Amino acid sequence: MGILKFYWLTACAGLVSFAAVAQSRNSVSYVDPMIGSEGEGNVFVGASCPFGMVKPGPDVSRASNSGHTPDMATPLYGFSQVHVSGTGGGPKYGNILVMPFAGEFGEINQTSPRASETASAGYYSTVLSKYGITAELTTTARAAYHRYTYTNTGRRALRIDAGEFLGERPVPDSREAQQFVGSEIEVLSATEIKGYSRIRGGWNNGPAYTVYFYAVLDKPVSSFATYKGKRLQEGVKVQSDEGEKTGALLYFDGADVKTVQVKIGISFVSCLKAKAHLEKEIAGSTFDQVLQQAQQSWEVLLKRIQLDASTPADQLKMFYTALYHTMLMPADRTGDNPGWTSDQPYYDDFYAIWDTFRSSNPLITLLSPSREVSIVNALLDIYRREGYMPDARSGNSNGRTQGGSNAEVLIADAYVKGLKGINYNLALEAMLKDATIPPGGNEEKEGRGGLTDYNTLGYVSNQFVRAGNRTLEYAYNDYCLAIVAKGIKRKGEYQRFIQQSNNWKNLWRPVTDHGATGFIMPKDAAGRWIDSIPCSESNGRMSFVHYSPLAQDWPICVCWWCGFFYEASSWEYSLYVPHDVASLIQYAGGPAAFRNRLDTLFEKEYYNVGNEPSFLTPNLYHWIGRPDLSSTRIRQIIAKHYNSSYAGIPGNDDSGAMSSWLAFHMLGLFPNAGQSYYLINAPFVKQSTLHQENGKDFTITAKNFSAANTFIKAAWLNGKPLNQSWLEHEEIVKGGELVLEMDSKPGDWGTKVLPPSMSLDPLLN
Amino acid sequence: MGILKFYWLTACAGLVSFAAVAQSRNSVSYVDPMIGSEGEGNVFVGASCPFGMVKPGPDVSRASNSGHTPDMATPLYGFSQVHVSGTGGGPKYGNILVMPFAGEFGEINQTSPRASETASAGYYSTVLSKYGITAELTTTARAAYHRYTYTNTGRRALRIDAGEFLGERPVPDSREAQQFVGSEIEVLSATEIKGYSRIRGGWNNGPAYTVYFYAVLDKPVSSFATYKGKRLQEGVKVQSDEGEKTGALLYFDGADVKTVQVKIGISFVSCLKAKAHLEKEIAGSTFDQVLQQAQQSWEVLLKRIQLDASTPADQLKMFYTALYHTMLMPADRTGDNPGWTSDQPYYDDFYAIWDTFRSSNPLITLLSPSREVSIVNALLDIYRREGYMPDARSGNSNGRTQGGSNAEVLIADAYVKGLKGINYNLALEAMLKDATIPPGGNEEKEGRGGLTDYNTLGYVSNQFVRAGNRTLEYAYNDYCLAIVAKGIKRKGEYQRFIQQSNNWKNLWRPVTDHGATGFIMPKDAAGRWIDSIPCSESNGRMSFVHYSPLAQDWPICVCWWCGFFYEASSWEYSLYVPHDVASLIQYAGGPAAFRNRLDTLFEKEYYNVGNEPSFLTPNLYHWIGRPDLSSTRIRQIIAKHYNSSYAGIPGNDDSGAMSSWLAFHMLGLFPNAGQSYYLINAPFVKQSTLHQENGKDFTITAKNFSAANTFIKAAWLNGKPLNQSWLEHEEIVKGGELVLEMDSKPGDWGTKVLPPSMSLDPLLN
């Protein structure tokens, strides 16, 4: 009892021989971490291992979610050890900063523009033009490796700052701002420095978390100073925590000191634990060895999907970078949890499940089902210890929900895909908690806000914010709960929640807009439709705006989180009924009307490629027997919005959400998360092979593949004709081959048998 | 911004000259920490400063709330640094244990019976008979001082254990059990050891808290071993946190080592902070100096109430020990808060406000209004940073509510007593949060459970646990909120909540029991009275029991926390309408019926002296014009249940609640917390003088004081006749004298004018 067992997968373990890779180049060589670093991608560009806890990278702007900005002239202020990737809203982390410098000795803050920067999986490098220093970073899962090469003569220096972090704002307790709590630094010897940074707030408005570090230098310092606030003290070894920012300036005077290498162990538990991580993972290795290990740890996972040798380098780069982005988060922190001991895995930085449940988690399930099992088990352990599963979590704290309680989708997805090693009885209990117990005073933290409405009225009324997408998401969450309940023979819960999964219908209002009829619209608690919503106050008068299906009540009216829908219009959200597209089509006036509606959505650009609510939408043509139209839309979207440039991701990558959407579609598959099948589309590659953890391969081959042949004419699964436009997950697990015969025009493949819908399934009624 | 300011009152600062004390003996000399150490008092018997963060004391039983048990034969297993006093339910703390021993070297666990023990304010000593070691403890606010005197020859030893804590149970995550999370130890030099203990759970089922320590020995160790789990390792300096219990065995071999002294700084922030506490408070001082400082810090506060020189020593002991017990908690942790930085004070261990609001906090307001201001401001800062004020809090986490949200009473009490330096607008906001926003998934943590019922039905129905006392307490909490709202001109809130304060009437059922009519009884959400409550299940059948005003549905039926009332019957709780006793009397059938009812309550022993719900009840005779009967009851209760023996407290002292009840009644006053007056009763002492912080004295003189004269015949306030049986707080603040003429039989004093009641106050209607 109480004894911590170490389950964390030694992500950067270097167990793989590169020789085993069949492709002409290693898959990892196609990864370009800079894709998505321009525009709105917000991706992390530094060094990382898969699901690694430590992510050392450049910090250029404290307002940047990744720390990075593409503008090379903007001065870089250091390299901190913990980052997230692709997020929006207020930043998180950016802790324990290292900054090399030459000159400006005795100053606390140094910055420099970058002359150039380079990144690959597990590696980042930049030249600090002001100081003539080349900075290189690599990492293990829990320890960072910094190598600084100086070109100046005379004194060289390094700052280790325990007070820096991203997202500080001048007003204390600002919403989404990280806030300083405390920091400490101690120079233990000429080569060892330890300390911590304690920060609260950030995007999920969480309580304080602490990032401890233990740094070891490869050269002894000649002299040093430490500081607290703005008071710099020569030779003072210790700055204890008085609620002020602390750090150390380290000086190297010998003429032979051209390179200073710093190894930094990180822990969320203690400095000694950080030291233990350093000693276990990195102490005996050179920079190049650590880098090679990091690359190998990526290669192990990336090569599980092998693309045909004919695939253009550009597409290989997009594809493998997409896989890479998908596996940056959540962070595996098993054994490094300051909250409790457990025999279960521990993951943090679900940021957010609302983003990742749709395609990231399903992609992880294909690449590494054991990893997905660990992730789900971590969610269940969080429920067991803290009371709710997260919909988002960071800094060891749940928060914050955007709409539904989407851990339900992860659990259902695991269940219907047959993942073993999950206690589904416990999982049902956790889901029932979400579905029945209101989360209380802070409805952004976890659980389901507005639940009292939902469970009495059958919808969330306009007295709660985000009533529209909450109702839609809860309905689907309820479907997911019901499916698991059914599976484990909990008939009472099944009946209740399969019924509740129809609740989206309670907000379906038969209004017509731009040729489409029927939209999810706001309703008050008395059951009356609401025609306008509060917008703003001026000179003591409230102004209201007419609420239409195209209204974007955020962020112009009310606050970002206070509208009827979260970050999308009713045009987008009204199509979010993933469990019962057949009913949705019927409600929308039948297949013809539905097709027109989808066409309008895409052609008038009511569809937002850069956000998650519409992730499934391009595939909805499948349900009117027109998978060809799905394929066409997908090709249009990718051609227009994705590419291999630094600006090649069309919105916040959101822990790899945007990237995983791309990766699936390049393969010609797309999951309907929480359900057991993949929709089949025209693949972007001639052949792809999934080398599964279970040892079985599944290959997708596009016969007659060419630039002109973008339609599927016919399909065979293991040699037998497959007339349906979807593929069951179990077929992949068993291993085999899906052959898609391509043509330049659509045929009748996929037009007769439509993909599953709850209302048409005799087993679900 | 973000810079921590140190507001914590240097509690053990030793600024006072003993010569300034007028009494023949110092007040502190009358303190006997052993009062309440037998029976159910559960008081802490070790060394403490007023409101001190560190409380080193003996640990004999891991199931004991204070760590201590009176049975000397039960082996003591060490002296840990953090304790609470007087609590019930699952224990909390008991961290960082030191155990001296001689023999049994190489073993991890040593225990010894005690041959004797001695305690005084700031001091504890015991003889460990098995080893022939005398252990002595004293303390500052944040650093403990241990002195061990060995009588053996040969090797002497000491264990420092970072894995020990109170209240562990074999089943992980047991309700109210503390659970181990992690620990660390590091032998820094022959005289320095540091580490931490991280624990979660305990009575308030809180998340992990961490107790860091930094220990300095006055003799170098000859050799040492450290351990992790059961693995003992000679000479290994570091045991880092792997989720196992760690500690160190320290050996002293020189023949001259007769005494080993250990100074231990404690912090909830970091080891270096613990070191800073040690260096600031204790590093340069001898044991005797620290002890003297501790005593002086108590003397400063205790001597603020001076009793007549004729008072028997026994009563002086009871009185000053009661004041002492009242000031053990909450713990002043200003500047040592791991959760946030602030310019506001920080207190922890509100354990619970439900216990202390009735008399402990009002007593603190008299002894040190500046301290009460700090305490209230700490509550408001907790609200501002975490969302709710606590009703209970420990280990840096709110939890758990027994009934109401009684911080409202503290705030109203501060407001009506004119305490300055509190932002009452912020306070109203915090109270409105309690009153309007349900706390959610964990209704035991904070806020008001069952609030959805209360705010729609006007009472908490039987669908929520503890519906009875919740309804009663919320009604009074609402009164308190209303009074503050009125004061700061928030008329809307005032109107709503003054009205809601009548909600107790909604559960008033006109049933008759043992001659009394009208009781608070359970009702369902449809408004139907409930005649029976679920008791237990056997062989698949539920059994119900008839619910009567004497039913004690806890803990025999349902669970301790699941009954209609918390820890009391309807006979007791139905009298809890502190804001409107006049209406209560009317509902109960008028003055004569009410007197009979009170007589029945006391004579049939339906009244429980050992619990807080009836704290005000003996005074209720005042409202039927019979303060003489109140005085008689109070004398009976004290004579029967309180004394100066080790078993002299009749129930869990609950952070000094029982003690403060006694202290007030010995003075002849009792507060109706949240309201501005004190009820006047026959005092137990001939004269008492309150030396107030504002420099003004207030004296209560009992003229014709004698054992036979237990009734007040007449009263004069500053020379003017005072015919009412209560005294306004502002009269005390102004300074002056209350003279009570005593007689052997009651007269007509206090019979004509009755104390305030909301329904009779023209300003409140």
For the packed helices B657-667 and B360-367, what is the interaxial angle rounded to 10 degrees?
60
**Residue B243 is assigned to a structural domain of this protein:** yes
Size of the A and B interface in Cβ pairs below 8 Å: 148
Chain B interface mutation, best of A1, A173, A241, highest count of B Cβ atoms under 10 Å: A241
Kindly calculate the radius of gyration of chain A based on its CA atoms and give it in whole angstroms. 26
State whether the Cα torsion B552-B553-B559-B565 is positive or negative: negative
> What are A426-476's pLDDT values in tens digits?
999 999 999 999 998 889 999 999 999 999 999 999 989 899 999 999 999
Q: Report CA-CA distances (Å) from A699 to A4, A716, A717, A736.
A: 40, 12, 10, 6
Contact yes or no for B130/B113 (Cβ under 8 A): yes
State whether the Cα torsion B314-B318-B323-B327 is positive or negative: positive
Query: Is A532's pLDDT higher than 90?
Result: no
Is B4 in Cβ contact with A243 (below 8 Å)? yes
- The residues near B231 (Cβ < 8 Å, ≥ 6 apart) are none
Same domain flag for A620 and A527: yes
Query: Is A310's pLDDT higher than 70?
Result: yes
For the packed helices A407-416 and A369-386, what is the interaxial angle rounded to 10 degrees?
140
Residues from chain A contacting residue B179 (CB–CB below 8 Å): 2, 340-341
- Phi and psi at B134, nearest 5°, equal -95, 125
Q: Provide the strand spans (E) within B460-514.
A: 508-513
Q: Which domain holds residue B557?
A: 305-671
Terminal CA-to-CA distance of chain A, rounded, Å?
A: 45
Query: Residue A23: what pLDDT?
Result: 52
Query: Residue B712: what pLDDT?
Result: 98
pLDDT band (50, 70, 90) for residue B23: low
**Cis upstream peptide for B627 (omega within 30°):** no
**Residue B704 is assigned to a structural domain of this protein:** no
Q: Which two tokens stand for residue B122?
A: 């700031």
Same domain flag for B104 and B164: yes
Query: Residue A187: what pLDDT?
Result: 98
Q: Which of these three, A671, A704, A732, is where a domain ends?
A: A671
3-state secondary structure of A344: coil
Same domain flag for B273 and B242: yes
Can you tell me the distance from the alpha carbon of A583 to that of B691, in angstroms, rounded to the nearest whole number?
Answer: 79
Same domain flag for A413 and A394: yes
- The residues near A299 (Cβ < 8 Å, ≥ 6 apart) are A16, A18, A21, A26, A27, A28
Q: What is the residue type of B633?
A: R
Query: Is B554's pLDDT higher than 70?
Result: no
Can you tell me the distance from the alpha carbon of B686 to that of B667, in angstroms, rounded to the nearest whole number?
Answer: 9
Query: Residue A244: what pLDDT?
Result: 95
Query: Residue A5: what pLDDT?
Result: 38
Query: Residue A108: what pLDDT?
Result: 92
B87-115 as b/e: b if 16+ CB within 10 A: bbbbbbbbbbbbbbbbeeeeebebbbbbe
Q: Provide the strand spans (E) within B485-615.
A: 508-513, 516-520, 532-538, 541-546
DSSP B463: T
Same domain flag for B258 and B313: no
Nearest CA-CA distance, residue B525 and chain A, Å: 15
> What are B223-270's pLDDT values in tens digits?
999 999 999 999 999 999 999 999 999 999 988 889 999 999 999 999
Is A388 in Cβ contact with B3 (below 8 Å)? no
**Residue B292 is assigned to a structural domain of this protein:** yes
pLDDT band (50, 70, 90) for residue A15: very low
Could you say which of A238, A275, A384 has the minimum Cβ distance to residue B272?
A238
Query: Residue A61: what pLDDT?
Result: 97
- For residue B382, give the chain A residue with the closest CA: A207
What is the residue-averaged pLDDT of chain B?
Answer: 94
A417-449 as b/e: b if 16+ CB within 10 A: bebeebebeebbebbbbbbebbbbbbbbbbbbb
pLDDT band (50, 70, 90) for residue A762: confident
CATH number at residue B157: 2.70.98.10
Instruction: Report the number of distinct structural domains present in chain A.
Output: 2
Residues from chain B contacting residue A430 (CB–CB below 8 Å): none
From the list A482, A502, A399, the residue with the least C-alpha distance to A447 is A399
Chain centroid to Cα A380, Å, comes to 19
> What are A714-756's pLDDT values in tens digits?
999 999 999 999 999 999 999 999 999 999 999 999 999 999 9
CATH number at residue A475: 1.20.1610.10
Query: Is B734's pLDDT higher than 80?
Result: yes
Could you say which of A276, A339, A438 has the minimum Cβ distance to residue B240?
A276
Query: Residue B551: what pLDDT?
Result: 83
From the list B180, B131, B121, the residue with the least C-alpha distance to B157 is B131
**Residue A718 is assigned to a structural domain of this protein:** no
- Phi and psi at B500, nearest 5°, equal -60, -25
Contact yes or no for A80/A68 (Cβ under 8 A): no
Residues from chain B contacting residue A173 (CB–CB below 8 Å): 384-385
Can you tell me the distance from the alpha carbon of A501 to that of A508, in angstroms, rounded to the nearest whole number?
Answer: 14
**Residues forming beta bridges with residue A679, ordered by sequence position:** A670, A726
**Residues forming beta bridges with residue A716, ordered by sequence position:** A721, A739
Q: Rounded mean pLDDT of B59-72?
A: 96
Q: Which of these three, A621, A653, A671, is where a domain ends?
A: A671
- Provide the 10 A C-beta neighbour count for residue B753: 11
Q: Which two tokens stand for residue B758?
A: 């909301």
Q: What angle do CA A567, A389, B269 make, to 5 degrees?
A: 100
Query: Is A635's pLDDT higher than 60?
Result: yes
Is B244 in Cβ contact with A180 (below 8 Å)? no
Q: Which of these three, B615, B638, B671, is where a domain ends?
A: B671
* Percent over 70 (pLDDT), chain A: 96
Can you tell me the distance from the alpha carbon of B246 to that of B228, in angstroms, rounded to the nearest whole number?
Answer: 4
> What are A214-234's pLDDT values in tens digits?
999 999 999 999 999 999 999
Nearest CA-CA distance, residue A64 and chain B, Å: 21
Contact yes or no for B560/B400 (Cβ under 8 A): no
Can you tell me the distance from the alpha carbon of A50 to that of A38, in angstroms, rounded to the nearest whole number?
Answer: 22
pLDDT band (50, 70, 90) for residue B406: very high
For the packed helices B360-367 and B313-326, what is the interaxial angle rounded to 10 degrees?
100
Query: Residue A730: what pLDDT?
Result: 98
Can you tell me the distance from the alpha carbon of A162 to that of A229, in angstroms, rounded to the nearest whole number?
Answer: 11
Residues from chain B contacting residue A198 (CB–CB below 8 Å): 269, 338
Alpha helical stretches, state H, A444-530: 451-457, 467-487, 491-500
**Residue B385 is assigned to a structural domain of this protein:** yes
Is B182 in Cβ contact with A338 (below 8 Å)? yes
* For chain A, counts of helices (H) and of strands (E): 17, 33
Nearest CA-CA distance, residue A399 and chain B, Å: 13
Residues from chain B contacting residue A343 (CB–CB below 8 Å): none
Can you tell me the distance from the alpha carbon of B182 to that of A4, in angstroms, rounded to the nearest whole number?
Answer: 9
Query: Residue A543: what pLDDT?
Result: 77
**Residue B531 is assigned to a structural domain of this protein:** yes
> What are B433-484's pLDDT values in tens digits?
999 999 988 899 999 999 999 999 999 999 898 999 999 999 999 999 999 9
Is B441 in Cβ contact with A439 (below 8 Å)? yes
What is the residue-averaged pLDDT of chain A?
Answer: 94
Query: Residue A21: what pLDDT?
Result: 36
Query: Is B126's pLDDT higher than 50?
Result: yes
Query: Residue B662: what pLDDT?
Result: 98
Query: Is B496's pLDDT higher than 60?
Result: yes
Same domain flag for A513 and A415: yes
- For residue B339, give the chain A residue with the closest CA: A208
Same domain flag for B615 and B539: yes
Is A170 in Cβ contact with B272 (below 8 Å)? no
Could you say which of A182, A385, A387 has the minimum Cβ distance to residue B269?
A182
> What is the length of chain A?
765
Same domain flag for B385 and B259: no
Query: Residue B20: what pLDDT?
Result: 35
**Residues forming beta bridges with residue A371, ordered by sequence position:** none
Q: Which two tokens stand for residue A347?
A: 């993951």
**Residue A693 is assigned to a structural domain of this protein:** no
Q: Which two tokens stand for residue B238?
A: 């570091």
Q: What is the residue type of A685?
A: V
Q: What is the ipTM of this complex?
A: 0.90
pLDDT band (50, 70, 90) for residue A12: low
Can you tell me the distance from the alpha carbon of A573 to that of A552, in angstroms, rounded to the nearest whole number?
Answer: 12
Q: What is the residue type of B514?
A: H
Q: Which two tokens stand for residue A196?
A: 């911590």
Same domain flag for B253 and B399: no
Same domain flag for B434 and B312: yes
Contact yes or no for A249/A318 (Cβ under 8 A): no
**Residue B701 is assigned to a structural domain of this protein:** no
> What are B263-309's pLDDT values in tens digits?
999 999 999 999 999 999 999 999 999 999 999 999 999 999 999 99
Chain B interface mutation, best of A181, A275, A343, highest count of B Cβ atoms under 10 Å: A181
Beta strand pairing call for A541-546 and A532-538: antiparallel
Contact yes or no for A659/A325 (Cβ under 8 A): yes
Same domain flag for B57 and B187: yes
Q: What is the residue type of A274?
A: A
Same domain flag for B460 and B583: yes
pLDDT band (50, 70, 90) for residue B541: confident
Query: Is A700's pLDDT higher than 50?
Result: yes
Q: Rounded mean pLDDT of B482-507?
A: 97
Burial class (CB in 10 A: 0-12, 13-18, 19+), A337: buried
**Cis upstream peptide for A746 (omega within 30°):** no
**Residues forming beta bridges with residue B112, ordered by sequence position:** B76
Query: Is A51's pLDDT higher than 80?
Result: yes
Is B388 in Cβ contact with A441 (below 8 Å)? yes
Q: Provide the strand spans (E) within A237-280.
A: 238-239, 246-252, 259-267
Kindly calculate the radius of gyration of chain B based on its CA atoms and give it in whole angstroms. 26
